[in-house]
């Protein structure tokens, strides 16, 4: 009897143990089942965060690339980066000419002012006027700023500013010959000197004149003064400053106006520099400094409203 009770007690204990084991196993299984779900959610969150970080980094790289490209395409940034604005000119009073070792003149002074606004120095380089477009595209110069007439060739080959001066192409000859040649028809028997690639050369061709092309407008006056040419064709603004009473060419005078024209500043094709210069010229016109500079060189009547 006693043995039977012990056997029953042992059986009961084993049953209870079995029940307890099943519960523990179930709890462990449930925990094991829940763990992968928690881990999956954490992994997804990490992956999402990684994707967002990568997207931000990609966007930052694209923005930087765009800024780099914009800087590479910007003439303004290019000029500021190298610290100089290289201005292509010829000896052309009253726009660009030398006083001692310094280039002065209406164009030269305004170019210096624009360079200062860019935070750089203006550097003036004499060029062969016939090669001005090539010099500009080769980046030997940054801008053509030399009383340049707006022509179809210039308009198609450069990005130009708005006109800032009016001008004309005029005939220059000796005073003693002025009355003999009052019109273009009578002048066809004369030999002319013109600057190669200039509006003066275009006017000579248009009127059927016989001409020789030389390096600069100043050289055309030397030709007439020396008698190697009968007449020259130069800009009215230059003629007003260079010939007649009180000048180095008192024996010369200017007569017939062959054309009327406008002066512009020439920049590289698609350059942002032209728009920058436009904004500066507008500011100088509005504050009066453009006209003040024009009066120094006697070109105030030629200034165009900006």
Contacts of 30 (CB under 8 A, 6+ apart): none
In b/e form, how buried is each residue of 22-39, taking b as 16+ CB within 10 angstroms? eeeeeeeeeeeeeeeeee
Number of domains making up the chain = 1
> Phi-psi region for residue 222, left (φ > 0), alpha (ψ -120 to 50) or beta?
alpha
> Does residue 200 fall inside a structural domain?
yes
Cα–Cα nearest to 219, from 202, 206, 233:
233
pLDDT of residue 48: 76
DSSP assignment letter at 186: G
> Does residue 38 fall inside a structural domain?
no
Report the SS3 class of residue 190.
Answer: coil
Four-point Cα dihedral 17, 20, 24, 29, nearest 10: 90
pLDDT of residue 4: 45
pLDDT of residue 276: 98
pLDDT of residue 59: 65
> Does residue 99 fall inside a structural domain?
no
pLDDT of residue 72: 61
> Does residue 297 fall inside a structural domain?
no
Note the pLDDT tens digit of each residue in 218-256: 999 999 999 999 999 999 999 988 999 889 999 999 999
Note the pLDDT tens digit of each residue in 54-98: 767 666 565 554 544 445 689 999 999 999 999 999 999 999 999
State how far the Cα of 256 lies from the Cα of 249, in Å rounded to an integer.
Answer: 18
State which residues form the domain around 190.
167-262
> Does residue 182 fall inside a structural domain?
yes
Residues of the chain with pLDDT under 70: 1-39, 55, 57-72
pLDDT of residue 24: 45
Cis preceding linkage at 94, omega within 30: yes
pLDDT of residue 22: 46
> Does residue 276 fall inside a structural domain?
no
**Residue 244 belongs to a domain with what CATH number?**
3.40.190.10
pLDDT of residue 258: 96
């Amino acid at each position: 009897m006693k043995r039977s009770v012990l056997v029953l007690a042992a059986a009961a204990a084993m049953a209870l143990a079995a029940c307890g084991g099943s519960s523990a196993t179930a709890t462990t299984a449930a925990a094991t089942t829940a763990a992968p779900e928690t881990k999956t959610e954490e992994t997804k969150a990490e992956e999402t965060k990684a994707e967002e970080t990568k997207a931000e980094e990609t966007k930052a790289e694209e923005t930087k690339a765009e800024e780099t490209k914009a800087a590479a395409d910007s003439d303004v940034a290019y000029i500021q980066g190298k610290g100089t604005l290289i201005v292509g000119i010829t000896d052309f009073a009253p726009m660009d000419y030398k006083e001692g070792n310094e280039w002065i003149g209406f164009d030269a002074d305004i170019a210096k002012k624009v360079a200062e606004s860019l935070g750089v120095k203006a550097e003036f380089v004499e060029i062969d006027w016939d090669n001005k477009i090539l010099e500009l595209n080769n980046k030997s110069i940054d801008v053509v700023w030399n009383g340049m007439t707006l022509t179809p060739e210039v308009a198609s080959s450069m990005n130009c500013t708005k006109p800032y001066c009016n001008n004309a192409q005029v005939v220059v000859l000796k005073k003693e010959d002025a009355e003999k040649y009052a019109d273009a028809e009578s002048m066809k028997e004369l030999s002319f000197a013109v600057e190669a690639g200039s509006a003066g050369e275009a006017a000579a061709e248009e009127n059927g004149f016989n001409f020789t092309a030389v390096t600069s407008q100043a050289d055309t006056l030397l030709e007439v003064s020396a008698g190697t040419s009968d007449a020259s064709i130069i800009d009215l603004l230059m003629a007003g400053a260079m010939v007649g009473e009180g000048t180095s060419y008192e024996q010369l005078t200017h007569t017939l106006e062959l054309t009327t024209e406008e002066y512009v500043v020439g920049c590289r094709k698609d350059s942002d520099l032209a728009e920058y210069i436009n904004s500066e010229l507008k500011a100088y016109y509005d504050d009066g400094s453009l006209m003040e500079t024009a009066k120094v060189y006697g070109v105030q009547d030629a200034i165009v409203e900006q």
